[in-house]
Amino acid sequence: MLGNALLFLLKTVLDLLTLAFLLRFYFQLTRVSFQSQAAQIIVTLTNFAVKPMRRVMVVLRNLGFSKLDVSTLLLAYITQLLLTLGTLWLSGHALRTTTSSTWLTILSIALIGVAILSISIFLYAVLIQAVLSWVNPHTPIAPILNNLTHPILHFLRKFIPLVGNVDLSPLAFIIAGQLLLATILIPLENNLLSTL
């Protein structure tokens, strides 16, 4: 019972931390204003790790990655890797006797975890944006959601015309995202976990 509680706590804390790192990465990528209160909270929560990691990643900036904040994305991956290792350890898996193929599986599970959380961020952002557009389109979080979802929805609007002045691109994205999670990413993660 204590093991289950520790596993729940570990998963909650590290998933939330990964979420914060990914939000910071996607906020920068989609040019969300960091003057908003939500963005300031994300910056404050992640600065403890992002600032030191940026100093380490100076070499990558010299290689042409200066426009992307690779440090936050790498921190999200490391956090998911720690979650995977912690989950295995709490489940009684002997990490010292792990082979190279098992380590490759563990690294892949962490990568899939980042992909699942990334898709979830955009699914919830699109869903919340759609609901707020009907209920309260002028809420303070609307510009953040609009900037975050604009690249995806703008791309989809090229292929999905308005139907009676109704934009169906959010619905199409939600269906596609859920389909991707349910048919590819989550089953792949479960298959990899079952091999450990």
Least confident of 16-20, 91-95, 134-138: 91-95
Other CB atoms within a 10 A radius of the CB of residue 133 amount to 15
pLDDT score at 64: 60
Instruction: Tell me which residue of 92, 108, 90 sits closest to 10, measured CA to CA.
Output: 90
**pLDDT beyond 80 at 184:** yes
What span, in angstroms and rounded, lies between the C-alpha atoms of 194 and 188?
10
| One-letter identity of residue 49 | A
**pLDDT beyond 90 at 56:** no
**pLDDT beyond 70 at 97:** no
Full residue range of the structural domain in which residue 157 is found: 2-194
DSSP code, position 160: S
Number of domains the chain is built from: 1
pTM: 0.89
What is the arithmetic mean of pLDDT over 98-118? 91
